[in-house]
Structures are given as structure tokens and as C-alpha cells.
Amino acid sequence: MKHIFKIFTVAFLAIMAVSCEKDEDQAVLNEITQAKITSSQTTLILDKNSPDDNVLNVAWSKAAFDLSVVSTQQLQFAIKGKNFVGASNIDAVDTPLEFTNKELNTIALALGATPDVATEIEIRLRTMVGQGAYYSNAITLNVTPYFLGPVYNYTDLYLIGDATAAGWTNEVTNTKFLPLQKASVAGNYSYTGYFAQGAFKIIKTPGNWDPQYGMDSPGILSTSGGSGNITVATAGYYKLTINTTALTYTLTSIPSPSTNYTSISMIGTASGDWSTDVDLQKTIFDSHIWVKKNVALNSGEFKFRANHDWGTNWGVAQEFFGVADLGGGNIPVSTAFNYDVYFNDITGEFSFIPVY
């Protein structure tokens, strides 16, 4: 029995000796040259109108080690001061890496940068060898990102006053503002619908009185804060036209509409699919104006239709606003985003305005 115990003891000591020898033989990897990165520029105001233009090149020289190793590299982007916590990691295979407006904008927003505000973003190269990480110098970019959304180069105007749906409550939280219809000629607007007895003005931004358009004299507009209200002596249906360049307006009485619809909906790939109706809400103020606020639209196409039936449908191949024709073409939506949608069943006029 003692003999067997001695054999096990000798075997155990031999294993321990071999194990110790293996530990002593393990190589220690040393970085002899730190990786270095450079950038083509350090101040970038990103341009949403040129999303595919290259705006930044990041080049690097790899780290060198005292042993032959297999390594992988990533560029790390992070808000300056966060010690690269929550960094965005981009595989770095070939130097230099090029970044477009859109790519860099996506990175900046994902990191928490605020659109239209300059933000300091640090970049470094991380080299991975097995489980070990080695880092280059860090450089700082001053990046001003843009808001991701459709390119919308139009100015909207809204009705305000007790003759209109919004009343005189000029607050952002007032959801009853109705926009005027834009035209292909800048500065020309119109609105066809019901006006109550009372008065109104026209503003650019709900919640803000500057700028505003009121009456200087009959038919003449003024942008002065002291401008008068445009009066509506008798409730009824009217067509309002204004020209913000010439500062003129007309308000003409029209016959009351004779056709009433139970529902107006959007249907198509932009609002879902060609089998599903997305209903707009009929306004209480005017049963011929239909609204859907803050609705998510896809990149695609849609039409308006009445009573969930193709017998009466409207469309036109024009984005953002227009006059949809009965049985007309599909309305395109180029950018998936949230929009406020308005439809006038008297005229076929529509608008879908991005909610930024």
C-alpha cells in the first residue's frame, strides 16, 4: 500500500513539474510600436442634401509586436469624455476608411449627438490579439450632424382665429391647426373650406406669432404685429388665396359641398399595404377636412379613397402636397418618416408634412 502511495506521489510531482515548465515557457507579448491614426479633417458640418458624398478619411498604421501575431482592428467612435464607453465599433480592414455624410451622421446620432449642434467625437484604433486589446492615439472630431428625415424645402402656413378650427390658442399643444395648401409657385397659398363667423390671421409656426400675416387693408396683407384680423362676416364655405411675396389675399364665398363621405383613408405600401386602409379623422370643425397626425409612413406609394372602396379614390404622382385627381396615379413617399397628413375632399388637395 505504501508502495502504491509513493507511485502516485511521484506521478503527481512529475505532472506539476511539467505544468510549471509550460507556464514558464508561455510567451509574453510586447507592443513595440503603438498604432497611429490620422483623419483628413477634424471639423465637419454634415450635409443632408449630399448623403453619399465622402466627407472623412481615417487612415492608420498598425501596431507592431515583438512576436508574429494575428490581429484584427476596429475603429472606435465615442463622445469625448466618456472614455470610449458605449463606443460605436467599425471593422478596420483596409486603410484608409472613407465615411459619407450619411454614414458619419448615423454614427453621431447613435452615440447621442444632437442634430444641428456641434459635438466632439473621439476616434481611436483598437487592435485585438486573442483576448488582449491595444489602442492607438485618439483624435477628436468636431461633428455637427443633421436630423435624419426627408428633404423638405417648403414653408407651411397655418390658420389661426375664431373663424378657424384652431381658435386663437397659439400654442404648440394645439392640435387643431390646419395648413394652407402650397402651390408650385413659391409664395402662393390657398385654403378651401369652412370658416365660422369671426376673424383669422395666418402664422408660420404654431406657438409663435412671428411671422404672422394679418390685414393691412381689404385685400392687402401686413406682417406687422399690429396688423388687423381678416374678418369673416358670415359663416360658410370660402376659398382663401394669399401671396406672401406681393402681400395680397382674396376670400371668396363658394357653394357648400353636396357630397359627404363616411370615411377617408390611405392605402398602399407607404401606409402599410394595398389591402389595408389607414383611416384619417374627420375634423369636427369641417366635415370635409381629414387629418392623420404623426403617422409613420414607409418609403413607397399610397392613394386616398372614400368609404374603404376603390369606387372613389384620389392620387397624383407628386410628393408632399398637390391636388389628387379622381382615379389618379399613386402618391410617392421617398423617405420613411412620421408625417402629419391632411386631405380636403372638396378639392382633392393633400399635404403630408414631416414631423421633425
pLDDT, one tens digit per residue, over 70-127 is: 889 999 999 999 999 999 999 999 999 999 999 999 999 999 999 999 999 999 999 9
Identify the pLDDT of residue 21. Answer: 44
Lowest mean pLDDT among 3-12, 134-143, 204-213, 233-242: 3-12
What value does the mean pLDDT of the chain take?
92
SS3 291: strand
pLDDT, one tens digit per residue, over 286-310 is: 999 999 999 999 999 999 999 999 9
The reply to whether CATH 1.20.1370.20 applies to domain 264-354 is: no
pLDDT exceeds cutoff 90 at 130: no
Residue of 136, 132, 135, 107 lying closest to 121 (CA atoms): 107
Ranges of each domain in the chain: 31-144, 158-253, 264-354
The residues that bridge with 281 in the sheet, in sequence order, are 291
pLDDT, one tens digit per residue, over 235-281 is: 999 999 999 999 999 999 999 999 999 999 999 999 999 999 999 99
Who contacts 111 (Cβ-Cβ below 8 Å, separation ≥6)? 77, 78, 79, 86, 88, 119, 121
Please provide residue 304's backbone torsions phi and psi, each rounded to the nearest 5 degrees.
-95, 145
In this structure, the chain runs to a length of: 356
Q: For domain 31-144, give the fold.
A: Immunoglobulin-like (2.60.40)
Write the DSSP string, 292-317. Answer: EEEEEE-SEEEEEEETT-TTSEEE-S
pLDDT exceeds cutoff 90 at 48: no
% of the chain exceeding 70 in pLDDT: 92
pLDDT, one tens digit per residue, over 225-239 is: 889 999 999 999 999
pLDDT, one tens digit per residue, over 144-191 is: 999 878 889 999 999 999 999 999 999 999 999 999 999 999 999 999
Write the DSSP string, 241-261. Answer: EEETTTTEEEEEE-PPP----
* Termini Cα distance of the chain: 86
Asked, colleague to colleague, whether 158-253 and 264-354 share their fold, the answer is yes
Identify the pLDDT of residue 310. Answer: 98
Q: Residue type for 323, please?
A: V
Query: What pairing do the DSSP bridges indicate for beta strands 181-182 and 188-195?
Result: antiparallel
pLDDT exceeds cutoff 70 at 197: yes
The reply to whether CATH 3.40.50.720 applies to domain 158-253 is: no
The pTM score is 0.68
